[in-house]
Amino acid sequence: MEALLQSIEKKVRPLIGQGKVADYIPALAQVDPNQFGIAIYSNDGALYQAGQADTEFSIQSISKVFSLTLAIKHYGEDMWQRVGREPSGNPFNSLVQLEYESGVPRNPFINAGALVISDMNQSRFAAPHYAMREFIRRLADNPNITSDKLVSDSEYEFRARNASMAYLMKAFGNFDNDVEAVLHNYFDNCAVRMNCIDLAKAFSFLANKGFSQHSNEQILSPRETTQVNGLLATSGLYDEAGNFAYRVGLPGKSGVGGGIIAIVPNQFSMCVWSPELNKSGNSLAGMAALEALSESIGWSVFG
Ligand code: GLN
């Protein structure tokens, strides 16, 4: 497996230079684009890696999967009254559908959906970001995971777009808590730093019927796990979810830090990272690596 990962790294590294590092905040614009890492974790505990698999990066929207998991554990089916389960077909930070759909975001992975879920978690925890951080540390089996204050402060400074979504949802009655407080927690979650190995391990429960080996804990029920994987497959890569299904064929979630996690149900969880993004805000080399991997092993869930 590691020989295959190394050959894939060699194949996709030349793509670096064709994309663009996220530049909506200065703290992310400074990341060295010339980086690539991949890690795969199997349900029997084997870890395979290549490249800079132990270099930390900003997980950004990958954090939305942790927030969703926490919300499902607490709210169960009730949460779907406040957020939908349909792909949006629009960029991750789009506002347009919110107005037409009475402040109910299309899915939990676009920013509007993740903000509503952060609002739910805000109602439940006294210190929502710390609850989330503890959860992530347990799942990744790494007590040293932290959030980058420089990144979250910068996100807050340039919050206008996310703030406008949250206030619009508040106007529609789909937001319970103080918007600014929720934004702070949402940005702290996005600014968590992890490496590919941490993320591959942390999401092993999605490949393992909801069970996390490290924390020896049933995180979600087997049914909830298939449901989350279904949502990841249909909405995890925003307006590129169709292309991801076509090229990779696995449940996945991207972040503008250049990370993408992907799940091979009942077998593997993995994470690939390379900071340069394509037009939809997804890692360019990361997508190509997952495509090559899925193709060579025949991993697409579509048969
Ligand atoms: N923090 C980013 C934002 O809210 C997350 C976006 C992403 O990773 N797609 O804009």
DSSP letter string, 59-116: -GGGHHHHHHHHHHHHHGGGGGGTS--S---S-TT--HHHHHTTT--S-SSSHHHHHH
Is 53:195 a contact under the CB 8 Å cutoff?
yes
Q: Tell me the pLDDT band of 214, cut-offs 50, 70 and 90.
A: confident
Could you give the CA distance from residue 111 to residue 91 in angstroms, rounded to a whole number?
9
Please, what is the average pLDDT of the chain?
97
Sign of torsion, CA 230 252 223 107?
negative
Q: Tell me what ipTM this predicted complex has.
A: 0.97
Could you give the CA distance from residue 17 to residue 159 in angstroms, rounded to a whole number?
28
Is 99:171 a contact under the CB 8 Å cutoff?
no
Could you give the CA distance from residue 14 to residue 295 in angstroms, rounded to a whole number?
19
Is 132:120 a contact under the CB 8 Å cutoff?
no
Q: What is the pLDDT, as a whole number, of residue 5? A: 98
Question: Which residue shows structure tokens 């529609």?
Answer: 172
- Cα 3 to ligand 1 centre (Å): 33
What string of DSSP letters covers 120-168?
Answer: HHHHH-SSHHHHHHHHHHHHHT-TT--B-HHHHHHHHHT-HHHHHHHHH
- Give the position, in ligand 1's atom list, of the atom nearest the Cα of 238: 9
Tell me how crowded residue 228 is: count the other CB atoms within 10 A of its CB: 24
- Give the position, in ligand 1's atom list, of the atom nearest the Cα of 281: 9
Q: What is the pLDDT, as a whole number, of residue 192? A: 98
Residue 268 pLDDT greater than 90, yes or no:
yes
**Probe ligand 1: pick from 90, 151, 155, 157, max atoms within 8 Å of CB?**
155
- Which residue is closest in CA terms to ligand 1's atom 4? 111
Average the pLDDT over 143-158 and give the result.
98
Tell me how crowded residue 17 is: count the other CB atoms within 10 A of its CB: 11
The string of pLDDT tens digits covering residues 22-51 is: 999 999 999 999 999 999 999 999 999 999
Residues with CB under 6 A from ligand 1: 60-61, 92-93, 111, 155, 162, 190, 255-256, 281
Q: Taking every pair of C-alpha atoms in the chain, what is the biggest distance, in angstroms?
A: 54
What are the angstrom distances between the C-alpha of 82 and each of 129, 178, 215, 244? 21, 17, 30, 26
Determine whether the annotation assigns residue 238 to a binding site: yes
Average the pLDDT over 108-135 and give the result.
98
- Which residue is closest in CA terms to ligand 1's atom 6? 61
Determine whether the annotation assigns residue 111 to a binding site: yes
For residue 300, the 8-state DSSP code is -
Residue 98 pLDDT greater than 90, yes or no:
yes
Q: What is the pLDDT, as a whole number, of residue 215? A: 87
Closest CA to 22 of 61, 74, 53: 61
**Probe ligand 1: pick from 61, 159, 186, max atoms within 8 Å of CB?**
61
Tell me how crowded residue 256 is: count the other CB atoms within 10 A of its CB: 24
Average the pLDDT over 118-124 and give the result.
98
Average the pLDDT over 223-239 and give the result.
98
Q: Which amino acid is at 178?
A: D
Question: Which residue shows structure tokens 């037409």?
Answer: 100
Could you give the CA distance from residue 122 to residue 178 in angstroms, rounded to a whole number?
9
Q: Tell me the pLDDT band of 102, cut-offs 50, 70 and 90.
A: very high
Residue 54 pLDDT greater than 90, yes or no:
yes
What's the pTM?
A: 0.98
CATH 3.20.20.70 fits 2-297, yes or no: no
